[in-house]
Amino acid sequence: MSLIENEHSGLRFGAIEHWAHLCVDMQRMFAEPTDWYTEWMARVIPNAVSIVDLEPARTIFTRFVPLRSPDEGFGTWRRYYERWHSMTLAELDPDLVDLVPELAPYTPPAIVVDKVVMSPWHGDLHARLLSSSVNTLIVTGAETEVCVLATVMDGIDLGYRMIIVTDAICSSADETHDAMMRIYQSRFGMQVETVTTAELIAARLEGDFRS
Q: Is 208 helix (H, G, I), strand (E, B) or coil?
A: coil
pTM, to two decimals: 0.92
Give the model confidence (pLDDT) of 131-189 as tens digits. Answer: 999 999 999 999 988 999 999 999 999 999 999 999 999 988 888 888 989 998 889 88
Q: Which top CATH class is 19-67+98-205? A: alpha beta
| Residue 190, C-beta contacts closer than 8 angstroms, at least 6 positions apart | none
> How far apart, in Å, do the first and last CA atoms of the chain sit?
34
- On the question of pLDDT at 5 being above 50, the answer is no
Domain boundaries, the chain: 19-67+98-205
Asked whether 23 and 52 are in contact (CB, 8 A), the reply is yes
Band (11; pLDDT cuts 50, 70, 90): confident
Which pLDDT does position 4 carry in this prediction? 45
Give the model confidence (pLDDT) of 102-137 as tens digits. Answer: 999 999 999 999 999 999 999 999 999 999 999 999
